[in-house]
Amino acid sequence: MKRFWNWIRNEAGGRVLRLEGPIDEESFWGDEVTPKAFREELEADSGDITVWINSPGGNVFAAAEIYTMLRDYHGTVTVKIDAIAASAASVIAMAGNKVLMSPVAMLMIHDPSTIAMGNARDMEKAISTLNEV
């Protein structure tokens, strides 16, 4: 299964994490990150982490879980944005003790959006959720 993240151990003894692709709560195509799988791999080793991000974003709640995992991690987390950290990926980017960007990279933050269907109550719930994010 192709994942949107990949762990690499560098020579200095720290770990490098590459986040590339969409963020979601469940895997549909097999290339999304899910918080459960991410947690298992994060906790499988220790040491400082460098997180490289190149992602268009995705599910903000999945990104919030990953953000919290990285903030709670026992080690220094350095985030490096080499191309784009858009939408939900910008949430993960803020988890670093230090955040660095390439001069040609983009950090994109926008108002939340969703797709909803159903009755008036369903629409009101969707609006309420958007207002909370």
Q: What pLDDT is stored for residue 123 in this prediction?
A: 96
> Quick one: tokens of 84?
């784009």
Q: What pLDDT is stored for residue 29 in this prediction?
A: 62
Alpha carbons 20 and 85: distance in angstroms, whole number: 9
Q: What pLDDT is stored for residue 3 in this prediction?
A: 64
Q: What pLDDT is stored for residue 34 in this prediction?
A: 74
Topology of the domain comprising 5-132 = 2-enoyl-CoA Hydratase; Chain A, domain 1 (3.90.226)
pLDDT tens-digit profile of 70-126?
A: 999 999 999 999 999 999 999 999 999 999 999 999 999 999 999 999 999 999 999
Given CA atoms 78, 89, 32, 67 in this order, what sign does their dihedral have? positive
**Per-domain boundaries in the chain:** 5-132
User: Which residues belong to the active site?
Assistant: 87, 110
pLDDT tens-digit profile of 8-50?
A: 766 576 888 888 888 888 766 665 667 887 888 888 888 999 9
Q: What pLDDT is stored for residue 31 in this prediction?
A: 58
Taking the CA atoms of the chain, what radius of gyration do you get in angstroms? 16
Alpha carbons 95 and 97: distance in angstroms, whole number: 7
Q: What pLDDT is stored for residue 93 in this prediction?
A: 98
